[in-house]
Structure 1
Amino acid sequence: MPRKGMRSIFFHPPKFSPSPSPSRNFSSTPSSPSTHRISFSDSMMEDNIINAEAIITKWDPDSSSYAKITSLFYENRREARNFLRAVSNLQSAMQFYVADSSSSSSPQKLVHCQHLMQTAIKRLEKEFYQILAANRDHLDPESVSARSSTATTRSSTSDYDYDTEDEILISAGASISEVERDASLAMVDLRSIVECMISSGYGKECVKIYKIIRKSIVDEGIYRLGFDRTGSNRHLHKLDWEVVEIKIKGWLHAIKVAVKTLFLGERILSDHVFSTSGPIKESCFSEIAKEAALALFGFAESVTKCKRSPEKLFRFLDMYNAISELWPDIETIFSYESTSAVRSQAVASLIKLGEAVRDTFANFESAIQKDSSRSPVPGGGVHPLTKYVMNYVCFLGDYSGILSDIFADYPLEIRSPLPDSLLQNSPTAENPLSSIATRIEWLILVLLCKLDGKAERYKDVSLSYMFLANNLQYVVSKIRSSDLSLLLGEEWVTKHESKVRLYAANYERMAWNKVIQTIPPNPTAEIPLDEAREAFRRFNSAFESAYRTQASWVVSDAKLKDEIKVSIARKIVPPYRAFYEKYRVRLQSETSLDVLVRFAPEDLENHLSDLFYGSGSVSGSVSVSVSVRPASVRSQGSNSSSRCYG
């Protein structure tokens, strides 16, 4: 690539000394064009050597304590550019004397040039190291990324051809910060030194320094991110899961910052500093970042070797999600052939994590089917299995996109006697999410079938229906309040809400029909007083028995609880009120009326309102006789019952 610095060899005006140089021929004797051209070129080379020797000697670390402790690029940037130009011109002079075999003085001059070159390279190595070491903080990935947008604009010429330092700052933009300014200057200086040393045949020296310093920065960055590379990934499966989970949390943070900041910054920096040599910049980045990247992505694969259990599924999904989201960046940053192992490791980790997710998903289904809890839930409440499964399933809904990707090529295989015709959702090519919707629906179906079996453990059939209503209502509520409602669809939710109402209706029929049947079909019809007395007695007994039996039953959902209470009250209170109001006055003369007519309509409403809290103790216990008051007095205290019936 042509460079202005190299072109100046032939177009830079020679600096003549006050007295004629013995090597120059100023005789008026005509000379051949060839002789004149050779002497003129030789004169230019000598001037270049003299100028180079002056500045190289000045900054020779062994020549003075000032040169030993002072940074050329920090102390005088203009002189630093002259130093680089002098080295380039010295290299041209060496090439000239190598090619000039006709002159007897060429070998001696070449040896002198070589000595100067070694001194200059020693100085440049020192400067290169000092710039890298002193700018560890300034060459952080954020600053490097900010500089990268302006760095490419000068890729066609050497950076040490800037006329003024201000041009660097102008190219970086008016809003450049102090950190970005320092990073910009450091990157310019590093690239200038690299170009000079590579063109002079000393590329290996700067590459070695660069790799050592930048690799230590990457390793330190990984350590500060909380990822411990010293611990062997091969032994993760031997650790307690709690310990592994802590490591995973640290990894999830580290992998995002490492890829998007640390590795990206190193790729940008190496591409910029070694922009003149593709193989060198690839070699540098590969040696600096490859080892750390392999350890990071290899950790994910090692985690999948831990024993599978349902609670580990979400960590597998988190790791899968992290790598899949970073994949475009991974492909771009590690695009070199020498870093293909990093891409391969990332893909391998995705594959292993996908396998772990599918296996754990299957294990979760198996765990539901194998649940062996036998004790019925007191009061027909929500079973712990229902809570566990639905909380688990709702968390799965947050990963529906990732799960659809993981299960895309793995259709659901029914491994139980349950008919798949019960499923509403079926996978389609148009809607890939339907695949995971089918699987989640299947998990819920397995749960509901398991609950059907547990309902049979209740001796009271009405309580078994209460149990089914409670648990299905919990399932529907969890679906309705989560993203799963969108995934499964409104039709699925509506269908199962109807089943809840059906279970509740069956409960009411089984639990309260005996009470309802004690009230005459036509409560206002005329019947003998003996039959009226017997009707009151049968009602008292039936209501008291039902109430006592259900005093400890529970309905967990507040809305369902109110709906059931209102439904029961509407079936019992109005006909009882009509019967009560017709015959209470006619039985006024009874000596033990408070025993015969134990409940006023308001008492029924109050007692019903106390049900389904599961405490077993209620505010209006039927074991206590209810005093008979005038209807006008009782009606004054009946407003509180409107929450149950009205």
Structure 2
Amino acid sequence: MPRKGMRSICFSPKTISFLSSPRSSPSRLPLPPTPLRSEWMAEQIIENASSLIMKWNPETSAYANVTSLFYENRREAMQFIKCVNNLQKVMHSIVSEDSTHHRLVQAQNLMQIAMKRLQKEFYQILSMNRAHLDPESMSTRSSRTSRSSISDFEDDISPEDDVRAASDSISEVEQVSSIAMADLKAIAECMTAAGYAKECVNVYKVVRKSIIDEGIYRLGVERISSSRINKMDWVALDMRIKNWLEAIKIAMKTLFFGERFLCDHVFAVSESIRESCFSEISKEGAILLFGFPELVAKSKKPSSPDKMFRVLDMYTAISQNWIEIESIFSFESTSPVRTQALSSLVKLSESIYSMLSHFESSVQKHSSKALVPGGGVHSLTSNAMNYLSLLADYSNVLTDIISDWPPPTKSSLPESYFDSPDSDDPPAAAISTRFAWLVLYLLCKLDGKAKYYKDVSLSYLFLANNLQHVVFKVRTSNLQYLLGEDWIVKHETKVGQFAANYERLAWGKVFASLPENPTAEISPEEAKETFKRFNISFDEACRKQSACVVADPKLQDEIKGSIRRKITPVYREFYEKHRSSVGGQRGVGVFVKYAPEDVENCLSHLFFGTVDSGSSVSTSTTSSRLRQLA
């Protein structure tokens, strides 16, 4: 019955004035007493409800059996729900006044028919709109509507108003999902109010759980045992981890977030129902998702650098989504999901600590005495620094992980290793100290390996090469922020000191063979002796040092430049001043082996790790030039 008509009945005069003459208003009849009037209203509501409910009774109407009420005539569907709500109120009223009233049985039968109809409609809307109610669509809608506003929808906003407001700003596809959501919410509220929440919830759980389970399966997340993981080779396990890293992004941003959004909307009328539905639908899949990292962390496969970074990736994925995990799975009944996610974080953290300890131990225990040809960069240096520079990319995560670990014994480290950037944050200081400790392990081990070289100059070149590589990796990675600029400058200075020691020991005889004043007047015999000493020392130095390696271009240029500045200018002046004093063409060929250009050429070919066989070529070239100049 229209609300206006109801109001006119309820507020009509209770009695007719005794002063008025019956004849003065012969057409007006007195209304029945109040109890009769209430009964009459109840009968009107029951009759109106009966007319519409029986029209859509699938057991008595072939049309109703094959047609969807909400799809066929949505306005009539809303009227159907209003009739059911009015019927429910009348039933409460009748029970409170007369529980044996003959209309109560009829009303109860109508209610059961209506509930079956709505249950069927609820299932059809969920099933027919799977594509429009998928988690991705829900998560897109939720970006425009906060979860709090969804949970707090006002009761006086009708489904038509909700859809009409949404249709002004969304696409056609989203309008369909808006209509479906509004209809589901209207049905859920009606069935809950009528005491049929269980039937409604059961339908919702069956349909929506299948969607979540299918989503989890499509994301490649499956139940797997720890024994099976232990039997996998690393390639297979690595592929599963990569797949999981992609899966958690979609699951958190779309799958679970969208389902929570829809569940909160449809069952906004009851928090307990929302909790029950969402928990049963999502808990199993979520625990499966967050349980995988724990299995990987606990696996007994040999530690490898790749595993460390995959474990760090998984830790990062969970920690970055922690706010969403707590928000989406905020119900008490979904606490096992939060517990599983936290457990995985703890196990991942323990695994990371174990692998870091293994790395420290492997550096300390590296016992190979094999020498790197030419004093080049040791494989231990390159591997360790690649590992540490990549590890530094996870410094924010590691700060959280190692803040509770016992720090290394500071007294065993030089003070210079703690000149990291000033920080008032203890965890930040802890991570800097830990990395300084790891680098020190490496440098100490390299210092020990340098002692295996019998040629002391080569041991210094080895130290210069390896420390330069360490400094380069620090400066070109996030290690620079952990160790600090002072650390870098001090160790760059140390590289220079190692290079200077190499230069002094490897080329000292060559430097000493040249006179302090190359243009001073000396006898031909003294000039011959000087050329002879230079030839011998330079030949020997070039022969030994031609096999040396300096991989870093900057360091190579610095060492070559320093040697060149100490030899070439002095030799050139001496050569130009005294070349002609050693005798004729024959004397020049015997005593003057190198022209200045040949010295430059020999020096330019140093540090590429190949033995220079060009001495004879240099000699013949020099002789040719000297004959031309004679």
What is the rounded CA distance, in whole Å, between the counterparts of 1:208 and 1:227 in structure 2?
26
**Equivalent residue for 1:23?**
none
The change in CA–CA distance for 1:618 and 1:336 in structure 2 (over 3 A counts) is: farther
For structure 1, which segment, 294-303 or 143-152, has the greater mean C-alpha deviation from structure 2 after superposition?
Answer: 143-152
Q: Identity of aligned pairs, percent?
A: 52
1:83 is displaced (CA, Å) by 0.9
- Counterpart selection for 2:370 from 375, 380, 387: 375
1:210 aligns with 2:208: no
The change in CA–CA distance for 1:220 and 1:517 in structure 2 (over 3 A counts) is: same
- The aligned runs of 1:350-389 (5 Å cut-off) are 350-389=345-384
1:169 is displaced (CA, Å) by 3.9
CA contact (8 A) 1:309 1:364 kept: no
1:181 aligns with 2:175: yes
- Counterpart selection for 2:65 from 62, 65, 68: 68
The change in CA–CA distance for 1:252 and 1:402 in structure 2 (over 3 A counts) is: same
**Equivalent residue for 2:14?**
none
1:247 aligns with 2:245: no
SS of residue in 2 equivalent to 1:611: coil
Task: Return the letter of the residue paired with 1:424.
Answer: F
CA contact (8 A) 2:374 2:458 kept: yes
The runs of 5 or more residues in structure 1 that have no matched partner are 15-26, 635-646
SS of residue in 1 equivalent to 2:42: helix
Question: What are the Cα deviations for residues 364-389 of structure 1, in whole angstroms up to 9, with x where unaligned?
Answer: 11111111322111111111111101
**Equivalent residue for 1:256?**
249
SS of residue in 1 equivalent to 2:298: coil
For structure 1, which segment, 196-205 or 172-181, has the greater mean C-alpha deviation from structure 2 after superposition?
Answer: 172-181
Task: Return the letter of the residue paired with 2:131.
Answer: D
CA contact (8 A) 2:129 2:177 kept: yes
1:481 is displaced (CA, Å) by 1.2
1:179 is displaced (CA, Å) by 2.2
CA contact (8 A) 1:414 1:420 kept: no
CA RMSD after TM alignment: 2.8
1:13 is displaced (CA, Å) by 5.9
The runs of 5 or more residues in structure 2 that have no matched partner are 11-25
What is the rounded CA distance, in whole Å, between the counterparts of 2:436 and 2:166 in structure 1?
56
The change in CA–CA distance for 1:485 and 1:410 in structure 2 (over 3 A counts) is: same
1:156 aligns with 2:147: no
**Equivalent residue for 1:92?**
89
Task: Return the letter of the residue paired with 2:229.
Answer: L
What is the rounded CA distance, in whole Å, between the counterparts of 1:535 and 1:146 in structure 2?
86
1:354 is displaced (CA, Å) by 1.4
What is the rounded CA distance, in whole Å, between the counterparts of 2:34 and 2:138 in structure 1?
48
- Counterpart selection for 2:455 from 447, 453, 460: 460
The change in CA–CA distance for 1:632 and 1:91 in structure 2 (over 3 A counts) is: farther
**Equivalent residue for 2:491?**
496
1:621 is displaced (CA, Å) by 5.3
**Equivalent residue for 2:276?**
283
For structure 1, which segment, 78-87 or 138-147, has the greater mean C-alpha deviation from structure 2 after superposition?
Answer: 138-147
**Equivalent residue for 2:133?**
139
Task: Return the letter of the residue paired with 1:126.
Answer: K
- Counterpart selection for 1:196 from 190, 195, 198: 190
What is the rounded CA distance, in whole Å, between the counterparts of 2:550 and 2:316 in structure 1?
39
Task: Return the letter of the residue paired with 2:332.
Answer: E
For structure 1, which segment, 429-438 or 564-573, has the greater mean C-alpha deviation from structure 2 after superposition?
Answer: 429-438
SS of residue in 2 equivalent to 1:423: helix
What is the rounded CA distance, in whole Å, between the counterparts of 2:268 and 2:220 in structure 1?
32
**Equivalent residue for 1:520?**
515
- The aligned runs of 1:167-566 (5 Å cut-off) are 167-172=161-166, 174-228=168-222, 230-233=223-226, 235-307=228-300, 309-311=303-305, 312-414=307-409, 418-425=412-419, 429-430=424-425, 432-566=427-561
SS of residue in 1 equivalent to 2:36: helix
For structure 1, which segment, 331-340 or 521-530, has the greater mean C-alpha deviation from structure 2 after superposition?
Answer: 521-530
1:318 is displaced (CA, Å) by 1.0
Please identify which structure carries the higher helix content. 2
What is the rounded CA distance, in whole Å, between the counterparts of 1:186 and 1:12 in structure 2?
35
SS of residue in 1 equivalent to 2:407: coil
The change in CA–CA distance for 1:567 and 1:545 in structure 2 (over 3 A counts) is: same
CA contact (8 A) 2:151 2:265 kept: no
- Counterpart selection for 2:80 from 80, 83, 108: 83
CA contact (8 A) 1:611 1:618 kept: no
What is the rounded CA distance, in whole Å, between the counterparts of 1:329 and 1:350 in structure 2?
15
**Deviant stretches of 4+, over 6 Å:** 5-9, 27-31, 631-634
The change in CA–CA distance for 1:338 and 1:234 in structure 2 (over 3 A counts) is: farther
What is the rounded CA distance, in whole Å, between the counterparts of 1:330 and 1:462 in structure 2?
60
What is the rounded CA distance, in whole Å, between the counterparts of 1:347 and 1:367 in structure 2?
30
The change in CA–CA distance for 1:147 and 1:517 in structure 2 (over 3 A counts) is: closer
What is the rounded CA distance, in whole Å, between the counterparts of 1:480 and 1:380 in structure 2?
22
**Equivalent residue for 1:637?**
none
For structure 1, which segment, 300-309 or 599-608, has the greater mean C-alpha deviation from structure 2 after superposition?
Answer: 300-309
- Counterpart selection for 2:107 from 101, 108, 113: 113
CA contact (8 A) 2:419 2:486 kept: no
SS of residue in 1 equivalent to 2:418: coil
The change in CA–CA distance for 1:553 and 1:40 in structure 2 (over 3 A counts) is: same
Task: Return the letter of the residue paired with 1:274.
Answer: F
**Equivalent residue for 2:38?**
41
SS of residue in 1 equivalent to 2:361: helix
What is the rounded CA distance, in whole Å, between the counterparts of 2:67 and 2:437 in structure 1?
74
1:603 aligns with 2:598: yes
1:202 is displaced (CA, Å) by 0.8
1:620 is displaced (CA, Å) by 6.0
SS of residue in 2 equivalent to 1:276: coil
**Equivalent residue for 2:576?**
581
1:568 aligns with 2:579: no
CA contact (8 A) 2:226 2:299 kept: no
For structure 1, which segment, 517-526 or 210-219, has the greater mean C-alpha deviation from structure 2 after superposition?
Answer: 517-526
CA contact (8 A) 2:598 2:618 kept: no
Task: Return the letter of the residue paired with 1:90.
Answer: L
CA contact (8 A) 1:255 1:296 kept: yes
TM-score if structure 2 supplies the norm length? Answer: 0.90
CA contact (8 A) 1:610 1:619 kept: no
SS of residue in 2 equivalent to 1:625: helix
How many equivalent pairs are there? Answer: 608
What is the rounded CA distance, in whole Å, between the counterparts of 1:538 and 1:430 in structure 2?
62
CA contact (8 A) 1:320 1:353 kept: yes
Task: Return the letter of the residue paired with 2:218.
Answer: R
